């Protein structure tokens, strides 16, 4: 039998390397299983002492309901421990699989450090297993798109080294484009002052925010939720035009927080604008944003994550 393939359910699937990601990627469980992605979960606490694993001990619906029901209580997250990563790595090492581990930006979390410690621990018992830990320089939806593109490359037959060769270009191509429901969480996190937050909420001002190369940038302000959603869509259109690419050249994902109906609304608004500029689009997936961004931006964060497809980068 070809050593690069294993039998699974009557089909053959690539086993050249395994992809592990921390929970910042916000990939739904079913999609993670479909793409053979192992998720190492973040921890969430509402009292700074009792931490629960997101998606295991604390479902997203419960997280968001608590945030909405108790607006003055700000949850916190903690990165997975080295032991958490080790458990995920050892499971695949026992199967003889090399591992590519994708983590949230080091500018936002210590997850990479935990994964690196786990990699060193694993090397003592499994010296022949190669584990590569990658700082994605991103989080949430962009990390989702980043991880899914690496899965596409793996399943297309790319080796671990070929996937690693594409990492830098993928990171540079990626963006998170989003807005928030109000300014309370940005004020709590120290990104804006109290007076600015109060005035902005009174005037119903919504910031447009871009994450690029691991750094957060202001991309404008809109008044009212509908206008801010339209503004985020225009950020996406501008990105595509500046890059000289079509939507099909990218992995574009929609992310929403507490309200799935808002996710559907943004999805419909985006389809309409993309069709006007580029023609009808076949797919535009929408995921619920996880805790690693929700605790910083609030329960009504919404927007896009995207990276270019590696086979369509110039």
Confidence of residue 205 (pLDDT cuts 50, 70, 90): confident
286-295 pLDDT tens trace: 999 999 989 9
Q: Is the pLDDT at 196 greater than 60, yes or no?
A: no
Q: Which helix (H) or strand (E) holds 269?
A: helix 260-278
Whether the predicted pLDDT of 269 surpasses 90: yes
**Residue 71 scores a pLDDT above 80:** yes
- Of 14 and 169, the structure prediction assigns the larger pLDDT to 169
List C-alpha distances in Å: 181 to 66, 189, 204, 262, 303: 16, 15, 9, 11, 11
Report residue 201's pLDDT band, with 50, 70 and 90 as the boundaries.
low
pLDDT at 214 over 90: no
pLDDT at 11: 33
pLDDT over 70 (residue 199): no
Q: Order of strands, edge to edge, in the sheet holding 175-179?
A: 215-223, 205-212, 175-179, 302-308, 250-256, 286-288
**78, pLDDT greater than 60:** yes
| Across 19-33, 201-215, 222-236, least confident range | 201-215
Fold of 173-308: Hypothetical Protein Tm841; Chain: A;domain 3 (3.30.1180)
CATH code for the domain defined by 18-171: 3.40.50.10170
Q: In the chain, what are the domain boundaries?
A: 18-171, 173-308
- Residue with the bigger pLDDT between 193 and 88: it is 88
Spatial separation of the C-alpha atoms in residues 57 and 258, rounded to whole Å? 18
Give the pLDDT band (50/70/90) at residue 197.
very low
Mean of pLDDT values over 271-278: 96
């Amino acid at each position: 039998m070809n050593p690069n393939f294993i039998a699974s359910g009557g089909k053959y699937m690539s086993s050249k390397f395994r992809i592990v990601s921390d929970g910042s990627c916000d990939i739904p469980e079913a999609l993670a299983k479909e793409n053979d992605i192992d998720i190492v979960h973040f921890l969430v606490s509402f009292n700074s002492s009792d931490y629960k694993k997101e998606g295991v001990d604390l479902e997203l619906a419960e997280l968001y309901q608590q945030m909405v029901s108790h607006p003055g209580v700000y949850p916190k997250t903690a990165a997975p421990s080295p032991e958490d990563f080790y458990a995920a790595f050892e499971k695949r090492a026992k199967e003889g699989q090399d591992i590519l581990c994708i983590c949230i930006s080091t500018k936002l979390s210590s997850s990479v450090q935990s994964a690196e410690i786990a990699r060193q621990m694993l090397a003592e018992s499994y010296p022949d297993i190669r584990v590569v830990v990658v700082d994605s320089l991103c989080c949430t939806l962009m990390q989702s798109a980043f991880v899914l593109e690496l899965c596409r490359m793996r399943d297309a037959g790319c080796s671990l080294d070929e996937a690693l060769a594409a990492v830098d270009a993928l990171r540079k191509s990626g963006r998170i484009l989003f807005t928030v429901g109000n300014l309370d969480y940005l004020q709590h996190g120290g990104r804006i002052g109290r007076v600015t937050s109060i005035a902005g909420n009174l005037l119903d001002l919504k910031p447009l925010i871009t994450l690029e190369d691991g750094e957060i940038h202001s991309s404008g302000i809109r008044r009212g939720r509908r206008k801010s959603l339209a503004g985020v869509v225009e950020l996406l259109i501008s990105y595509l035009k500046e890059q000289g690419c079509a939507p099909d050249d990218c992995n574009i994902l929609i992310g929403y927080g507490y309200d799935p109906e808002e996710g559907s609304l943004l999805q419909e608004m985006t389809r309409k604008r993309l069709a006007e500029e580029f023609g009808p689009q076949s797919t535009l997936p929408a995921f619920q944003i996880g805790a690693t961004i929700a605790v910083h931006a609030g329960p009504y964060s919404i927007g896009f994550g995207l990276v270019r497809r590696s086979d369509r980068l110039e």
